[in-house]
Chains A and B, each alone.
Chain A
Amino acid sequence: MARRTQPVILRFAGLTALLLVLGFTLGTAGALFLAAEPGRGLARSDWSALRFTLVQASLSAVISVVVAVPLARALVRQSFPGRSLVLTLLGAPFLLPVIVAVLGLLAVWGRSGLVSTGLLAIGAERIDIYGLWGVVLAHVFFNLPLVTRILVQGWMAIPAEQFKLAEQLQFSPADMFRHLEMQMLRQSLPGAFTLVFLLCMTSFAVALALGGGPRATTLELAIYQALRFDFDLAHAAMLAGVQFGLCCLVAAVAMFLSLGVDFGAGLGGPVRHKSLRSSQTLMDRTLIVAAVAFLGLPLLMVVVRGITGLIADLPDGMGPATLRSLGVALISALVSLGFALVLAAWLDRLRGPRRWGAEVIGYLGIAASPFVMGTGLFILLNPVISPFSVSLPVTAAVNAVISLPFSLRVLLPAFAQLRQSHGRLGDSLGMSGWSRFRLISWPVLRRPAGFATGLAAALSMGDLGVIALFAPTRGETLPLYIYSLMGAYRMEAAAGAALVLLVSSLALFWLFDRGGRLNAAV
């Protein structure tokens, strides 16, 4: 009896979560569309925005992925002091507010940055990064670490026995790649590519600032223009529809590519490669040093400037803004965890096209334009309730929807493993409901759940008030506060606040990730 009721509850909860995601994404765009007179169709400028969006997102995703593969492998098979620090810092670029990251990047790559200064010193020309390559550079800076983290996890998931077997069978590096790594990559790369592609697709401020001019107009900027400059809601909804369409297409292709790859869980144990050739080791180390320099230098600039800023100018509002951000991030993270657990548990039981469909919908969160989401929610809620009074729940829910694709990536494999390894045991012991979750599921899930929650918390921490329209009086979160400081010429204080944001995001991520691993049996 108990076993029969549980899936009903699960299905109900899963469907509710899915409908919420749909409501926040397609629903908000639909609300915009219905609220307005039919607007103009896609204009010439929209097509060029679409083209630029596709080109920069594809390039950024391809380069991030191509570099991340050898980098992740190097990080997995080399052990060196500070390795875990490097792995933690891989989370940092992703969490920086856009404007802070851009200034950090320019301190290295800009016309007066380190590289140009060095080049001028040796008599060469300074470099000019503005243009498509500047956009790609910034997007790789943001997303390379993310892909690397995902792939490192993938490598760790390859059963240790298979590496031992490969060594015994005298696999060459090429055989190793073909039989072990290629399979893992087939499983995780399409998803990682999709994440990066979608993240770059909705880029706006970075693309514009480093793109060097209106050539670098993305769909997201076109949406902003439609909403704020032209106040053409229907047009904005149409452009948002194009973004959703692209998202579904890319996610579906990715899912098709990663079909039918199945490793099962190994007996564990760390991956050890003893028979690395010295040339491989040299290549790995070079790559790691290069990556640490590429990712670390702009971060270092942010940190150095932040410390100077904190000493020079510490504004009164920073403490409250930090606390407010932490509060929002914690609540968002917990909502997100609940959301993701329910949806992953439900998805894990679905098969075939329904599973595909549901999983693609899970991706919509990152493809959603924050402007469309904010405006659409506003239109939907305003007749019912004062938008100010629901600003916190709305923020938490929006953040949960946005971080859902990341959490699902992490939790779905864990649920599959749970089903394969413990599912029948639990059934045979007649365990169900809460005790089953607590005794069987949670020990397996807490590690990925900790990682996913940490990610969601950090993402919400760095969130720029997706919904500026909902912001209550003087209820600024830290990222908004940073923008306000900059807007008031207080660049030093802004740099200080950016450092506080960076450190607290990383700390939140670390705490949850750590909490998941602490005393974890599995």
Chain B
Amino acid sequence: MLRFEKALLRRGTFALNVDLELAKGDRLALIGPSGGGKSSVLDAVAGFLPLGEGRLEINGQDMNDAQPATRPVTFLFQEHNLFPHLTVAQNVGLGIRPNLRLSAEDHQRVTKALAEVDLSDHPHKLPRELSGGQRQRVALARALLRDKPLLLLDEPFAALGPALRREMLDLVARICEETTATLIMVTHQPEDAARIAGLTSVVADGSVSQPLLTEELFKNPPPTLKAYL
């Protein structure tokens, strides 16, 4: 459902070659050294970084000229996924209608999504009153409501402790199942990849390696991955 064809991503003097194909429901982890270009791949999928060369297709449609708003994508950043002046429920509601004119039914959907991420108790709190993990769960609730075919994670749980991180990854896995979304996540942690992503690519030395089964990749790491690990 997603295909990079001889794509070249450029950011200043940095360049990254991407040739990649994912099927619906695939879960791909991108692993590799800092500055290797992992986030650039996500930005290119979401439309924040135009391709220097090549082609990007999502669901068989050419995305090269598509604006970020029209791409079937939900993006979770490391931080700033919430608007600080809006309550938890409002932040989630943005996923239904950006102008926040919500119907009674919409409000029910928000309540339900919050229940899914275990945040039923705090719909009227402001983001600054929540812990880091809770904030990212609000963002996940919104992703659930947006129900987009592609979910992109740019290390949203990097700041959380191991137990909490595992919990959040399981939540992501559940959401992907419910929405049958395809997942691409950037991570530094091999165990994160092992926990939720069936496939892993190494992003290093200016290219993205072909996705391999995560388990096998870590059993027999190629030199670039070995150097990283």
Contact = CB atoms under 8 A, between A and B. Distances in A.
User: Do A and B touch each other in the complex, judged by CB within 8 A?
Assistant: yes
Nearest to A261: B85
Contacts of A161: 77-81
B128 A162 contact: no
Contact of B67 (A167, A169, A266): A167
Contact of A174 (B69, B81, B99): B99
Interface in B68-102: 68-69, 71, 73-75, 77-81, 83-86, 94-95, 98-99
Nearest to B94: A169
Given A174-B99, A175-B98, A272-B48, A159 B69 contact: no
Interface residues of B, number: 26
Given A175-B99, A263-B84, A274 B67 contact: yes
A483 B161 CA distance: 68
Given A164-B75, A168-B46, A179-B86, A275 B67 contact: yes
Contact of B68 (A183, A266, A274): A274
B32 interface: no
Contact of A167 (B69, B77, B81, B94): B69
A256 interface: no
Contacts of B37: none
A174 B84 CA distance: 18
Interface string B136-152: 00000000001000000
B80 A168 contact: no
B84 A262 contact: yes
Contacts of A522: none
B81 A275 contact: no
A264 B84 contact: yes
A168 B74 contact: yes
Interface string A94-110: 00000000000000000
B84 A170 contact: no
Interface in A158-195: 159, 161-162, 164-172, 174-175, 179-180, 183
A2 interface: no
A267 interface: yes
A417 to B, nearest CB: 14
Contacts of A264: 79-80, 84
Given A164-B48, A168-B46, A267 B84 contact: no
Contacts of B71: 168
Contacts of B99: 172, 174-175
Contacts of A168: 46, 68-69, 71, 73-75
Contacts of A172: 98-99
Nearest to A167: B68
Given A169-B94, A169-B98, A275 B84 contact: no
Q: A-B pairs with the 8 shortest C-beta distances?
A: A161-B80, A167-B68, A275-B67, A161-B77, A159-B80, A175-B98, A170-B69, A171-B98
13 contacts: A159-B79, A159-B80, A162-B80, A164-B48, A164-B77, A165-B80, A167-B67, A167-B68, A168-B46, A168-B69, A168-B73, A170-B69, A170-B98
Given A167-B69, A179-B85, 17 more contacts: A161-B79, A161-B81, A162-B80, A165-B77, A167-B47, A167-B48, A168-B46, A168-B68, A169-B146, A171-B98, A172-B98, A179-B86, A179-B94, A183-B83, A183-B85, A266-B80, A274-B67
Interface of A: 159, 161-162, 164-172, 174-175, 179-180, 183, 261-264, 266-267, 272, 274-275
